[in-house]
Amino acid sequence: MTEMLKVTVDRRPPLAVIYTEGYINNQGGEEIARVAYDLIEGDHTTLLLNLKGTKIVNSIGISILIEIIEKMLEIDGRLAFCNLTPTIEKTFHIMGLAQYAQIFADEEVALGELTV
Amino acid sequence: MTEMLKVTVDRRPPLAVIYTEGYINNQGGEEIARVAYDLIEGDHTTLLLNLKGTKIVNSIGISILIEIIEKMLEIDGRLAFCNLTPTIEKTFHIMGLAQYAQIFADEEVALGELTV
Amino acid sequence: MVDSTVMREVTLTLPMLPDMEIAASKTATALAEFMEMSSDKIDEVRMAVVEACINSFEHSQADDRKVEIRFVVLGNDDPERLQITIKDSGVGFAPDTVERPRIEEKLIAANKRGWGLTIIKGLMDEVEIHSGADGTTVVMSKLR
Amino acid sequence: MVDSTVMREVTLTLPMLPDMEIAASKTATALAEFMEMSSDKIDEVRMAVVEACINSFEHSQADDRKVEIRFVVLGNDDPERLQITIKDSGVGFAPDTVERPRIEEKLIAANKRGWGLTIIKGLMDEVEIHSGADGTTVVMSKLR
Ligand SMILES: Nc1ncnc2c1ncn2[C@@H]1O[C@H](COP(=O)(O)OP(=O)(O)O)[C@@H](O)[C@H]1O
Ligand SMILES: Nc1ncnc2c1ncn2[C@@H]1O[C@H](COP(=O)(O)OP(=O)(O)O)[C@@H](O)[C@H]1O
């Protein structure tokens, strides 16, 4: 019933790209976290979250993303974002999240920067 | 303020294609009629209304389209439609409009049929 | 009507002003999407809502210039049906006396209008109209 | 607040249930589109509405499990401002005692939540919160 977030993954060790489609609310955030923790276990230390298919997020969903960032900092890995709507990007700046997770315009730019 | 319908025209005498973008309500229908009557005056006897950019219409707008069909029947011309959403197509069938105005899937098919 | 429980109920009050029917159609979309109705069915609901609203706007002559809309998601375990009630407190009309429009006649008639109710009935699964001196209430529903 | 006349007023009552904030965000979209707000600003309004709704859903403990939302288009000749009032009849809170969250702290804290009001204030042009034993009312607005 509740519109579920679709999450797909493209593994390119040590990097992985996570694609989302839909609303990142409580459940959506948890779904992303589940996928991210699996990837971390599988030794992916750089995660790129491509939010092209997500037009709306809420602060509960974002809080779960902060958990993932914390985890990445612990393992010396990193989480980056690309394809954010202007509002999601603005929100990340309001929160100061942009200091701890890089934001790229699109996947090409992100991969260029993250794989050097 | 009121979201205005955008109407553009591609003249290929004796045919012309009218493209719409937006809501076909009262004003939208009138805008289409204004353009259609201009084309009729300019000896365009076959009009194809491409509604690709229109996701919503109301019955007041459709009534104005019926006026255009009446006019076309008078001058032995014809009005056809293409790129209708399934709901708009269903509505035209409910009204019986489909008997008096041909409905084509897309512009290519329409032009193929209308120009023979 | 199938017996089922109210799973969600949302009410909306709209002023009878141009384009406000779009607000109703968007609210309907949110509930229909919540039910995971197909996008074609959602579109049909939207159009029916627009027609019922503009009927109230145009014909009700309601003093308060307001339409009240109630959206109800009905279902036992899962959402099964979206019921939408559109109510005005206008002059009312006698639905049984409204003639079903015929395209052949409308094509030559001066007044080409009169399609709203026909469209609503054609697009929704169930439609009931209650109308009288207190106003008009259209209750319509669509199965998922 | 700028003095301007109410051009349109729409009210919506939502149940405090998952995903119902989306209905509010769609209704907001309809009014913002009517005003010809830019799509980026519309998106900002949507997000603020979602945050205010989920705050009421989560924190109000309102017995009636309902949120009342009032959307008002304000303007003198043209629409100038969209004002949205989100009201619950819950337990209320003291807005002044809510600390502004800091990302450095949240990153190491167990509770990473607490961003809603900050986001609302960051995305809207004006925000007022009235809260007490009768519940909470958030009045927020965005200039076109
Ligand atoms: N809410 C209403 N209040 C009063 N009269 C109504 C209402 N809805 C419909 N009617 C009456 O029913 C008639 C048929 O409505 P409809 O089929 O929607 O076509 P149209 O609105 O184009 O006339 C209207 O012309 C009007 O007389
Ligand atoms: N409508 C409300 N009713 C009661 N308390 C509220 C309401 N809105 C906000 N609050 C209080 O303010 C706090 C901060 O809210 P917010 O910044 O949105 O973050 P979060 O909702 O993640 O806690 C909440 O934890 C809650 O205690």
The residue behind tokens 């069938």 is: B93
Residue A116's pLDDT band, with cuts at 50, 70 and 90, is: confident
The answer to whether residue B1 neighbours chain D at the CB level (below 8 Å) is yes
Residues of C in contact with A56 (CB under 8 A): none
Determine the average pLDDT of the residues in B3-26.
Answer: 94
On whether residue B32 sits in a domain, the answer given is: yes
Contacts with B30 (C-beta within 8 Å, 6 or more apart), sequence order: B64
Cis? peptide before C15, omega within 30° of 0:
no
Residues of D in contact with B1 (CB under 8 A): 34-36, 78-79
Instruction: State yes or no: pLDDT of A4 exceeds 90.
Output: no
pLDDT at B2: 55
Distance CA C131, CA C8 (A): 26
Question: pTM score, two decimals?
Answer: 0.94
Distance CA B61, CA A57 (A): 37
Are the beta carbons of D122 and A90 separated by less than 8 Å?
yes
Can you tell me which atom of ligand 1 is nearest the CA of C51? 18
Are the beta carbons of C26 and D22 separated by less than 8 Å?
no
User: Over chain D, what is the mean pLDDT?
Assistant: 96
R_g over Cα of chain B: 13
pLDDT at C39: 97
Distance in Å, CA D95 to ligand 2 centroid: 8
On whether residue B1 sits in a domain, the answer given is: no
Nearest CA to ligand 2 atom 26: D59
Q: Do chains B and A touch (3 or more CB pairs under 8 A)?
A: no
Residues of B in contact with C29 (CB under 8 A): none
**A-C contacts at Cβ under 8 angstroms:** 9
Under 8 Å between Cβ of D59 and D7: no
Instruction: State yes or no: pLDDT of C3 exceeds 90.
Output: no
The tokens for D113 are 């939540």
- Percent with pLDDT over 70 in chain C: 98
Instruction: State yes or no: pLDDT of A8 exceeds 70.
Output: yes
On whether residue A100 sits in a domain, the answer given is: yes
Q: How close B86 gets to chain C, by Cα (Å)?
A: 7
The answer to whether residue A23 neighbours chain D at the CB level (below 8 Å) is yes
Q: Which of D126, D109, D100, D90 is nearest to D16 (CA)?
A: D90
Compute the C-alpha angle A29/C38/C125, nearest 5°: 135
Which range of residues forms the domain containing residue A34?
6-114
CATH number, residue A94:
3.30.750.24
Question: In chain A, how many H helices and how many E strands?
Answer: 4, 5
pLDDT at A46: 97
Can you tell me which atom of ligand 2 is nearest the CA of D56? 1
Nearest CA to ligand 2 atom 11: D93
Helix (H) or strand (E) holding D12: strand D5-15
pLDDT at D4: 85
Distance in Å, CA C115 to ligand 1 centroid: 9
pLDDT at B55: 96
Nearest CA to ligand 1 atom 16: C116
On whether residue A1 sits in a domain, the answer given is: no
Residues of A in contact with D123 (CB under 8 A): 87, 90-91, 94
Under 8 Å between Cβ of D23 and D66: no
Query: Closest chain A residue to C37 measured between Cα atoms?
Result: A1
Ligand approaching nearest to the C-alpha of A26:
2
pLDDT at A43: 93
Distance in Å, CA B85 to ligand 1 centroid: 25
**Stretch among B3-7, D8-12, D89-93 having the lowest mean pLDDT:** B3-7
Residue B4's pLDDT band, with cuts at 50, 70 and 90, is: confident
Instruction: State yes or no: pLDDT of C26 exceeds 90.
Output: yes
Nearest CA to ligand 1 atom 9: C55
Distance in Å, CA D55 to ligand 2 centroid: 5
Counted domains in chain A: 1
On whether residue B80 sits in a domain, the answer given is: yes
Distance CA B99, CA C1 (A): 34
Determine the average pLDDT of the residues in A31-60.
Answer: 97
Q: Domains plus CATH for chain D?
A: 5-143 (3.30.565.10)
Q: Which of C34, C125, C55 is nearest to C84 (CA)?
A: C125
The answer to whether residue D20 neighbours chain A at the CB level (below 8 Å) is no
pLDDT at C25: 98
Instruction: State yes or no: pLDDT of C2 exceeds 70.
Output: no
* Interface ipTM: 0.93
Residues of C in contact with B2 (CB under 8 A): 18-19
The residue behind tokens 């309001």 is: A94
Determine the average pLDDT of the residues in D1-16.
Answer: 89
pLDDT at B67: 97
Query: B42: buried, middle or exposed (CB in 10 Å: 19+, 13-18, 0-12)?
Result: exposed
More confident residue, D4 or C89: C89
Q: What is the pLDDT of residues D31-82, one digit of tens each?
A: 999 999 999 999 999 999 999 999 999 999 999 999 999 999 999 989 999 9
Are the beta carbons of A55 and D113 separated by less than 8 Å?
no
DSSP conformation letters of D61-102: --TT-EEEEEEEEEESSSEEEEEEEEEE-S----GGGSPPP-
Sign for the CA dihedral angle at D62, D64, D67, D70 comes to: negative
Helices (H), C3-135: 20-34, 39-59, 103-108, 116-123
Nearest CA to ligand 1 atom 8: C55
Query: Closest chain B residue to C49 measured between Cα atoms?
Result: B58
User: B64: number of CA atoms within 13 Å, CB side?
Assistant: 18
Q: How close D36 gets to chain C, by Cα (Å)?
A: 12
Instruction: State yes or no: pLDDT of C54 exceeds 90.
Output: yes
The answer to whether residue D54 neighbours chain C at the CB level (below 8 Å) is no
Instruction: State yes or no: pLDDT of D1 exceeds 70.
Output: no
More confident residue, B2 or C121: C121
Instruction: State yes or no: pLDDT of D2 exceeds 90.
Output: no
